[in-house]
Amino acid sequence: MKKLALFLLIAIASINISKAQNTNLVFFSEQGERFSVILNGILQNPKPETNVKVTGLNASYYKTKVIFEDAKLGVIDKTVNFNLNSETTFCIKKNNKGEYVIRWQSEVPIAQALPQNNNQTSVTYTTTTPIVNSSSSNIQTTTTTVNSTNNVDPNGASIGMNINDPNNGVNINMNVNANMGNANTTTSTYSSTTTTTTSSNVNNNQVANNNQPVYVLQGYNGPVGCPYPMSESDFNGVKNSISSKSFEDSKLTIAKQVISSNCLLSSQVKEIMMLFSFEDSRLDLAKYAYGYTFDIGNYYKLNDAFKFESSIDELNAYISSKK
């Protein structure tokens, strides 16, 4: 009897776990903008799409970030809530102010969910960095010299050969040139080049995907605000451009133009802030750059750039309103 009761408890628990994990989220853009979805700081679809279904979810809410393929469209931050054992659809659209937002669209029991359509990308919820394909080429050139004794044509000879097998990633070009004269002993040189292309799976932490690169900041495991920060050399050029302006307003205009089309580290945001003399300018920049910062979990480090506690409080209130 005890064994039967234990068996029933295990069966019920298994069913509940199965139901909890049988939950889907669907995101689609109303005007066809391509985007990537980040759930709890983890990128779900490396390649931006217009319609993304995330399956296998096991919680009823997730901190969600939508990053558009076109960086000028900005970034959306929102915590989405939904019922377990269901498929909930959210629409990405512009509100009356012209800002992109995530809006609840519909929700159906998972048993009534429609199958994946041809225009939809389906991914299983992951808590690790996605794997992408990487290809590499190996080029090998071989030269062989052969001595032979033959009766030959004094005019000489030349042979060319090309073998191309795109299915196996092999391309072979071979040229044979015979240096021939009236003598019976000749020397022929054979030169061949073989190109072999192979593909392998590598982690995004090592190789960036061309469509949606993933950057890894050593020692940082917090939330991510944008996919890939600008390089140090590009950033130095930006600082020089901002510093070249004499007026504070001109500096701020250039800084915002650069930030709106790039991704920054929080340390880079702080460096730009220090180029400004006025507290209001630094605060304005810090607010503006929040949606374009990779390691937003380190944003508290910007507090050192302020002279007044009131500025820190205002920035914290602004960040809280975006969560």
The widest CA-to-CA distance across the chain, in whole angstroms, is: 103
- Per DSSP bridges, beta strands 24-29 and 86-94 are parallel
Domain boundary among 80, 111, 129: 129
Tens-place pLDDT, residues 293-318: 999 999 999 999 999 999 999 999 99
Q: Which of 256-260, 266-270, 283-287 has the lowest mean pLDDT?
A: 256-260
Cβ–Cβ under 8 Å, residues 107 and 90: no
**Comparison of pLDDT for 299 and 15, the residue scoring more:** 299
Domains: count for the chain: 3
Alpha helices in the chain (DSSP H): 2-21, 232-243, 248-260, 266-273, 279-289, 309-321
Per-residue pLDDT at 273 exceeds 90: yes
CATH code, domain carrying 98: 2.60.40.2890
Nearest to 60 by CA among 20, 12, 16: 20
Q: Does residue 84 share a domain with residue 38?
A: yes
Q: Does residue 241 share a domain with residue 304?
A: yes
Residue 220 lies in a domain: no
Rounded Cα–Cα distance for residues 227 and 43 (Å): 9
Range of the domain at 248: 232-321
Residue 207 lies in a domain: no
Residue 236 lies in a domain: yes
Q: Does residue 111 share a domain with residue 6?
A: yes
What Å distances lie between residue 63 and 60, 219, 235, CA to CA? 11, 21, 29
pLDDT value for 309:
94
- Considering the chain, what is the average pLDDT of its residues? 76
Domain boundary among 86, 114, 129: 129
Q: Does residue 284 share a domain with residue 240?
A: yes
Tens-place pLDDT, residues 16-44: 444 445 899 999 999 999 999 999 888 99
What average pLDDT score do residues 135-158 get?
A: 49
Cβ–Cβ under 8 Å, residues 125 and 39: yes
Domain boundary among 129, 144, 164: 129
